[in-house]
């Protein structure tokens, strides 16, 4: 038996009545994608933060967006791209209309790794609870550092001060984390480089396939 993260193993033990030793943890994977952070490369004048995925309160997209709005209001060169669908679509569209040039709502986009993530410098996912979200794996496949809450299996993806920052789901703390990355391009570049390395060693799809074949082949 396999699980994509260690977080779900004890849950499976309770639900299935099987010992944890019966499970081998194999993380989600994705193909690697070349990418240079637009803000660091000079391709964009602002640090672009993104949320891609389901739009509902539990995912925390609005916490990130409002932190970006506050920073921009203080004169920081920062903007937010929101893509996805869900119950909060109207709220996302309204926030974008209220803050043009700071928040952009794209709606649902197929293949966001190709259509949205190349625009991003930082990916955010401030979920109340998660397993091992593919959106973070896909962001890491481009070397994009992640700001996320330490919920569920996320800490197995986002290693604090290595591949991103783990923060509590609090607007002030999210704002402070984004402000730190904006103020320190060298640190941001270091996180991006480490993210690429960790992805290649752990989450590259070829490696993940080999691990599954070792179990089931």
Residue 37 sits at φ, ψ, to 5 deg, of: -60, 120
Task: Give the residues across from 78 on adjacent strands.
Answer: 47
At residue 189, the pLDDT reads 98
At residue 161, the pLDDT reads 97
Find out whether 56 and 79 touch, Cβ atoms under 8 Å.
Answer: no
Task: Print pLDDT tens along the chain (217 aa).
Answer: 999 999 999 999 999 999 999 999 999 999 999 899 999 999 999 999 999 999 999 999 999 999 999 999 999 999 999 999 999 999 999 999 999 999 999 999 999 999 999 999 999 999 999 889 999 999 999 999 999 999 999 999 999 999 999 999 999 999 999 999 999 999 999 999 999 999 999 999 999 999 999 999 8
Q: Which two tokens stand for residue 181?
A: 């990355």
Give the tens place of pLDDT for each residue, 30-66: 999 989 999 999 999 999 999 999 999 999 999 999 9
Q: 3-class DSSP state for residue 172?
A: helix
Cβ neighbors of 189 (< 8 A, separation 6 or more) are 37, 40
Strands 146-148 and 164-166: parallel
Give the tens place of pLDDT for each residue, 103-122: 999 999 999 999 999 999 99
């Amino acid at each position: 038996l396999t699980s994509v993260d260690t977080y779900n193993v004890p849950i499976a033990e309770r639900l299935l009545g099987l010992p944890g030793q019966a499970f081998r943890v194999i993380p989600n994977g994705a193909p690697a994608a070349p990418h240079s952070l637009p803000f660091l490369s000079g391709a964009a004048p602002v640090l672009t933060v993104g949320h891609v995925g389901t739009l509902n309160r539990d995912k925390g997209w609005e916490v990130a967006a409002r932190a970006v709005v506050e920073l921009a209001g203080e004169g920081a060169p920062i903007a937010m791209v929101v893509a996805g669908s869900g119950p909060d679509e109207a709220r996302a569209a309204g926030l974008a209309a209220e803050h043009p040039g700071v928040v952009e709502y794209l709606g649902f986009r197929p293949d966001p790794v190709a259509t949205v993530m190349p625009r991003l410098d930082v990916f955010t996912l401030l979920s109340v609870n998660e397993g091992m979200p593919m959106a973070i794996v896909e962001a890491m496949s481009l070397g994009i550092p992640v700001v996320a809450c330490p919920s569920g299996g996320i800490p197995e993806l986002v290693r604090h001060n290595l591949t991103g920052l783990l923060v509590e789901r609090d607007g002030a703390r999210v704002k402070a984390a984004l402000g730190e990355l904006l103020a320190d391009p060298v640190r941001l570049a270091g996180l991006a480089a480490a993210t690429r390395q960790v992805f290649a060693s752990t989450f590259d799809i070829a490696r993940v396939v080999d691990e599954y074949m070792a179990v089931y082949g």
